[in-house]
Structure 1
Amino acid sequence: MVMSLALISSCQWKKKSSKAMRRRRGGAPEIHLDLLIEILTRLPGRSLMRFKCVSKLWFSLIRSRCFSNHYLTVASPPRPPRRLYMSLVDHLECNSMAVCYNPRESALLLFTSSSSSSNNATSFDQDLTLPGMGGRNMKLLRGLILYIVCRRACIYNPTTRQSVTLPAVKSNIFAQEDYRKSVLYFFGHDPVLDQYKVVCIIVVSSKKIKRITSEHWVFVLEPGGSWKRIELDQPHIPTRLGLCINGVIYYLASTCMSDDIIVSFDVRSEEFKMIQGPPLVSAFKPIDFIEYGGKPSVFDHTRLRRKGLVELWVLEDAGEWSRKSLVLQPCQMHLVNKYTKWKVKGTTHNGEIIFAPLLLCSPYYILLYDVQKNDLRKVRIRGIPKHWFRKPDTNLFFYFEFMDDSESIMHLEI
């Protein structure tokens, strides 16, 4: 019914005839713009991409920022359910800002189709695999995907099939002779000013982290955007992928004095803040940084394989840490094979923690851990191209994440 209304309205927005011709032919009156918007916001994103060719008005309307934001807030049955995305990368870290490998042969982005997921199995639709897309440190935010290709940030919109590569940061910090050199990116959104921002942190450090030099840059995702340096007198090394919650980016980091610091970055004010991490938690332990209950949390699973124990530290609004300890059910201990090393790859839309094996092997499974119910379940991942299982694990990186509530139709332009 919704689709038929859209098709009817599309005919009415074509080249107009005179009122006399409409009366003679019995044409229907024009649909009011507010009603048209309500109809369009309830259509799938791919349909909207096709409907941009109906008229100049439709083209401008669908591409407008106001409409794309309204589209994100509308929940409707035709929208696809949350999809699981997987980024596969087969290359070493680059030694310069230049692209040093062929991305079409070394990277692949896979995501599930709207009808291919169930409680016990998830299949990647081969028609939705994108060679050359995807990269390291994949992060999803409001329907957009950020990933890194040779130290440059790329943003991809899977609905519009648009991809943009941000310009390289012009920094001379790599001229310093030191042990470790890295470039890290974080993705955030300011809900007040409706701005997407990418934070870049360039770090050079000595071998035992006795000396750290870092630069901090911000890029506003808009036409004509450019990198702006943010002065910060507290150099640090990010040690985990970040997450954005209510306009604030959080990530775990180390300094010369401490290895359990939480750094927050207010996307609107562009201010950094250091927060002391929970006790007995180190950035060098096998822990992970996740969102739990809408709050940044540290998930410690160092004793999961041996004793079935996990600890969850949640950063409360007052800046204090609350602790939750859980013991896995004995009947589920066989799922966490003690010979398999697991890595947390984020959380699902239901708050389940995603465990993935460090090595890519066939058949491939992930574990989903429901902290609220203290329940662990095994999910098989199908559809990964077979040749990826034959690649050396030393050069292979892969990332999982579930898309958030809605698909985005935002037009990317820089």
Structure 2
Amino acid sequence: MRRDVDDDSKKREYCRIVDDDDDTFPQNRISVRYPQFVGSSYGLLCFTGFYLGEDDDCYNRYIIWNPSIRKSVTIDVPYYKHVVVGFGVCPKSLDPKIVRIKIFKVPYDYNLGDTHMVWRVKVFTLNGGVWRRPLTKLPSKWFNVYVLCQTPVVVNGLIYWPAYCTRDNMIVSFDLETEEFTKIHVPSKVARRGFEIFKLRESIGTVRSGSKGRYVVWLMDYVSKSFIKLYTFSTLQVGHWNWKVVGFRDNDQLIIEKNGEYLLKNGVDRYVNEQPELVAYEPNAKQFNHLGFYFGCYSFTSYTESLLLLDQR
């Protein structure tokens, strides 16, 4: 995969997937503007972006890619703004699925100007080749639940997104087999509004910020859906960082993108703009390790090779 910049399009970013060892199929070159990683499941990676068709209409393009066999499939639909997307492979049928959630406000009292949230959900199955409604209807009391546009987490046949309703934090899950949505309550001690979730120990992990540079890592119990405190850490032991969490390793190490550092000079904090760097926090040794990777990281995910898409037309 290569990521290029098109100077003729006001430096718009492109994601280009190319099979460099096969020059006989030029149609395998796929480009999208403003690429975004949707998720990984059963050895497949899913990206999304948009492109302009020959009729100058704008389309959303979804790319399902298997790097192991160098094969990809594209799905194009009319362009929509503010769409939450998820991707996963059904464990029972091994059918890749894309979930699109469009959330918008509609008035329910024109005189008072009151509104409530409405969900419009579409599911695309690669074997079916069409967009359709989910097999299970949404609960009637799901209005005002707002799903955050974060890279979702896929664990054990479920897609998870962080969400909130008024002051209540929650996690929304989508079952890839039954296509049923479920809400999981998240206590305020575990996450604040605008929180992120990550795959951790075949479940969901969150990182909660505290005072004096202290952070707490929580793990969701897969059965009870309650949260367990794993460990705490502080970035003050290595200076003030401008950083963000991008994921976890299989050994519970936290992967952090470090974008810069605040240094105290003459009593004043001075920001040092550095090249983005990936570091890992080792909870047992309680230390940060530099990984030697100097680039920005949007999302961190584990990958397992598979032969899915091998027979896909």
Letter in 2 for 1:404: Y
Q: 2:208 aligns with which of 300, 318, 326?
A: 300
2:229 equivalent to 1:229: no
Residues 298 and 216 of structure 1: CA distance in aligned 2, closer, same or farther (over 3 Å): same
Conserved? CA contact 1:184–1:201, under 8 Å: yes
With structure 1 as the length reference, what TM-score do the two structures score?
0.55
Conserved? CA contact 1:140–1:401, under 8 Å: no
Letter in 1 for 2:64: I
Note the alpha carbon deviations across 1:259-311, whole angstroms, 9 max, x for none.
411111111011111111123345534x42012211112222355xx434323
Q: Which blocks of at least 5 consecutive residues in structure 2 are unaligned?
A: 18-28, 51-59, 107-113, 261-272
Q: Which blocks of at least 5 consecutive residues in structure 1 are unaligned?
A: 1-84, 92-100, 111-129, 175-180, 385-396
Q: Shift of the alpha carbon at 1:404?
A: 1.6
Identity of aligned residues (%): 20
Conserved? CA contact 1:164–1:412, under 8 Å: no
Distance 1:280 1:210 in 2: 30
The equivalent residue for 1:36 is none
The equivalent residue for 1:20 is none
Conserved? CA contact 2:171–2:186, under 8 Å: yes
Q: Secondary structure at the match of 1:167?
A: strand
Q: Shift of the alpha carbon at 1:199?
A: 1.1
The equivalent residue for 1:119 is none
The equivalent residue for 1:400 is 299
Q: Secondary structure at the match of 1:284?
A: coil
Letter in 2 for 1:213: V
The equivalent residue for 2:56 is none
Letter in 1 for 2:281: Y
2:223 equivalent to 1:322: no
Q: Shift of the alpha carbon at 1:351?
A: 3.5
Conserved? CA contact 1:292–1:351, under 8 Å: yes
With structure 2 as the length reference, what TM-score do the two structures score?
0.70
The equivalent residue for 1:377 is 289
- Which is higher, the Rg of structure 1 or of structure 2? 1
Conserved? CA contact 1:366–1:378, under 8 Å: yes
Distance 1:342 1:165 in 2: 34
The equivalent residue for 1:343 is 244
The equivalent residue for 1:188 is 88
- With CA pairs under 8 Å and 6+ residues apart, which has the higher RCO, 1 or 2? 1
Residues 226 and 302 of structure 1: CA distance in aligned 2, closer, same or farther (over 3 Å): farther
Q: Secondary structure at the match of 1:288?
A: coil
Letter in 2 for 1:225: G
Q: Secondary structure at the match of 2:196?
A: strand
2:166 equivalent to 1:242: no
2:101 equivalent to 1:201: yes
Distance 1:183 1:89 in 2: 24
The equivalent residue for 2:196 is 288
Residues 283 and 135 of structure 1: CA distance in aligned 2, closer, same or farther (over 3 Å): farther
User: Counterparts of 1:30-45 in structure 2 under 5 Å?
Assistant: none
User: Counterparts of 1:8-407 in structure 2 under 5 Å?
Assistant: 106-108=13-15, 132=31, 135-150=35-50, 151-168=60-77, 181-205=81-105, 211-222=116-127, 224-230=128-134, 231-232=137-138, 233=140, 234-235=142-143, 236-239=145-148, 240-255=150-165, 257-282=166-191, 284-285=193-194, 287-303=195-211, 306-328=212-234, 333-334=237-238, 337-338=239-240, 340-357=241-258, 363-371=275-283, 373-382=285-294, 399-407=298-306
Distance 1:220 1:377 in 2: 41
Residues 351 and 138 of structure 1: CA distance in aligned 2, closer, same or farther (over 3 Å): farther
Q: Secondary structure at the match of 2:76?
A: coil
Question: Which has the larger share of strand?
Answer: 2
Note the alpha carbon deviations across 1:320-348, whole angstroms, 9 max, x for none.
22223413487xx21xx42x422222223
Residues 401 and 138 of structure 1: CA distance in aligned 2, closer, same or farther (over 3 Å): farther
Aligned residues between the structures: 266
Q: Secondary structure at the match of 1:168?
A: strand
Q: Shift of the alpha carbon at 1:154?
A: 1.8
Q: Secondary structure at the match of 1:260?
A: strand
